[in-house]
Every structure is written in structure tokens, then in C-alpha cells.
Amino acid sequence: MDYPKRKLIMLPGPTNVPDRVTDAMIRPMINHRGEMFTTLLRGITEKSKSLFQTVRDPIVLSASGTGGVEAAVWNMVRPGDKVVVPVFGEFSTRLAETVELAGGQCVRVIAEIGKVPTREEVEDAIAKTPGLKAVFVVHNETSTGCTVPYIEGLAETVRRTEAFYVVDAISSLGGYSIPVDRWGVDVCITGSQKCLAAPPGLSLLSLSAKAEEFIRTNPPKVRYFDLARQLDFLARGETPFTPAVSLYYALDSALEMLVEEGLERRVERHARHARTLYSVLDAMGLRGFADPAVRSNTVIAGLYPDGIDEKKFRKSMDEEYDVVIGAGFGAMKAKMFRIGCMGEIGPTHVRRTVSAMVLTLKRFGYSVDLGKVSGALEAAS
């Protein structure tokens, strides 16, 4: 294949990868059972602790986010277990299905897309499920750009029960702060290709002492994703199976950048640029998709004006302006666009994306009030 041209990747993952991270990947191959790999892995483990805000060792799996979710489900759910899952889009639907594949009895708390089930609805389901084994929640529903605003409060509710609290934070951790130890999150999962600005292919998981004890006393019927085995190998500076070494190099460098910036500043940067993107979309006359009370800082979902062919629109943005934005999901595919506000996101990304959108809208026959748009951009900077 041809060497791809560099574009501005404004997808809701994968996102732009800084040169420093990409360059890290071309280091020579090393023995994954040797000292150098142990040093690399230990460095990743230490830095990941600040991402999850935990004193325990997070696990890195050579698997995309779905692998991390699958690992969480198969380690924590046993046949017949009752599990509450808020369902409000594609990824939470998949999560509920995965719980059922593992033999769990899923209690779905469903909201229409563009919304999130209310905290009361989820708490009601918890209260009405005797013997509840776990609550599994997608924090940021990437398919609709909706974030669960009560992720901390729900942790408190679950803590009052015997149940485990599992959070899919694949498209949010790093763009949002989830202090897993302080909140009592038993398993938290994230992916390399979102707010960490590393390439796709790795998932990271934190595991509480309570979750580890459960897995050790109730071994899961899995091998690759056996998290107790992962922890045993991690303790001696190895992974049980051949790790994606080049991606580990990249992750180490991406986490280094996170530590240098500081999690708090990174979270604030995501929130600031999300605010700008929402206010500029508004100035362009484009409606956001998510209920404003739950709209995401990392995935900006909006609706095209009537009559726009979304495929042609995205193709034009890509070919004329080298800006790549995401399509909608499922029933919203023809009407929705999604812009990733993740990882490296900065003023240049925002301005280039906005300029390309304005010019593409004009090309498609829609007039945009340029004064309003530049006013919204200026107000934000």
C-alpha cells in the first residue's frame, strides 16, 4: 500500500499520535523475557498508576479495548450472576451482550440514544436485584457522545452493597479523572488509542484488591485474559504471553507525556476544547446530538443539517482539507457526525477542524455566519 498522507485525525479513536510516541515504536525488538522489557513494563506500570490514581499495579493487555472489556467480564461474571448494566448506545449494548455470553443474567436499564438512564433508574434496578453480583457501566458512550454524570455517585451506591463496580472508561480515562481507589471502582478499563494518544492495540485495566481476591478464589475459565495470571507475571516484570513490544514502547512514551502534563491539566484541557467545539457548532447552526446535561468532553456528536449526504461531507473534509471526522452509529448513521476531542487535542486541532467544517458546509450550499463562528472561537481562546 502507499505511505498514507498525514491527516488531522479527529475520530473518536484512534486519535492523533504525537511524533514522540510514534518514534518510540521504531526502537529495536528486544527479548520480552529479558531485563530491558522488565524495565519497560515497570515504567509503564508506575506511570499507569497515576492515570488510574491507584496504588495497585494496572494490567496492560495486548488487545484492543474490546479485549479489556471481555477480560473484565469473563473474570468477574460467573453463570447465573445478576448484573446491572445501563444501556444507552452501541458500546453499552455490546457490554450487556458480553455479560450474557459469560452466562450472566443482565438487568438492563435502558435509555433512548442521546440520553443516559437516570441515577435513580440505575439505583432502583440495583435495589430490586437481590444477590446482585456487579454493576457494569460504560462511562462515556462513544456511539452517542453521552457521559454518565453520576459515575462517582454510583460508586458510592454500589459500595453499600456486596457487588462489584466495573467501569468501561475506554473513551474517557485521561480526558476525565476516575480515581479508582478513592471511589472504589473494582475494575476500570481503558484503551491506548483514545485520551492517551497512543496507537490502537492495547487495553489497560485496574483491579481492586476485592476483585483480585474474587478472581483468585474463583478462577475464570479463560487463559489469555486470566487477570490473576497477568498479575503473577507482572509481579516479576513480565507478561504471560508475547506482548506487542512496539506498542508497549509507544504506551510508555504516551504515559510519559501524561505524567509531564499532569492528569488534572489534561482533564481540564479536554473540557476546555470540548466547550469550544460545542459553542462553535452552535454558532455554525449545527445541533449537538447528546442531551446537553450529559454531553461528552471527549466525543462531540452533532447532527448534520437536513439534506447533507454524510458520506460525501466526510469525504470532502478528508480530501479537500485533510481533516478526518467520525460517522454516526446505527440508526443515526446518516445524520450524525462525531468528532474526537481526545489525547493531543489543542487549539490548532480545533481551528483546523472548524475551518474545514465551515468551508465544507459552504461547499454543500449552507451559509454559515462567519462572524458568529469566529466570535465563538475567539471567546474560547
Q: Which residues bind ligand PLP (CB under 6 A)?
A: 13, 64-66, 69, 91, 138, 142, 168, 170-171, 191, 200
- Report the distance separating Cα 304 and Cα 342, nearest Å: 22
Tell whether the torsion through CA atoms of 82, 86, 195 and 157 is positive or negative: negative
Task: Compare residues 16 and 171 and give the one whose CB is closer to ligand PLP.
Answer: 171
CB of 191 to ligand PLP, least distance (A): 5
Task: Compare residues 168 and 310 and give the one whose CB is closer to ligand PLP.
Answer: 168
| Grid coordinates given for 132 | 446482585
Task: Compare residues 170 and 180 and give the one whose CB is closer to ligand PLP.
Answer: 170
DSSP state of 173: B
CB of 10 to ligand PLP, least distance (A): 14
Contacts of 121 (CB under 8 A, 6+ apart): 86, 109, 111
Contacts of 95 (CB under 8 A, 6+ apart): 69, 73, 85, 87, 136, 138, 168
Q: Which of 190, 175, 199, 204 is nearest to 249 (CA)?
A: 199
Task: Compare residues 65 and 104 and give the one whose CB is closer to ligand PLP.
Answer: 65
Task: Compare residues 301 and 308 and give the one whose CB is closer to ligand PLP.
Answer: 301
If DSSP codes are grouped into helix, strand and coil, which group holds residue 327? strand
Tracing cell 492517551 back to the chain, one arrives at 196
CB of 166 to ligand PLP, least distance (A): 12
Residue nearest to ligand PLP (CB): 65
- Report the distance separating Cα 178 and Cα 175, nearest Å: 10
CB of 246 to ligand PLP, least distance (A): 17
CB of 147 to ligand PLP, least distance (A): 10
For the chain, the distance separating the N- and C-terminal CA atoms, rounded to the nearest angstrom, is 40
Amino acid at 95: L
CB of 330 to ligand PLP, least distance (A): 14
Contact 148, 130 (CB under 8 A): no
Task: Compare residues 281 and 342 and give the one whose CB is closer to ligand PLP.
Answer: 342
| Grid coordinates given for 203 | 487495553
Q: Beta strand pairing status for 287-288 and 164-168?
A: unpaired
CB of 381 to ligand PLP, least distance (A): 29
Task: Compare residues 53 and 142 and give the one whose CB is closer to ligand PLP.
Answer: 142
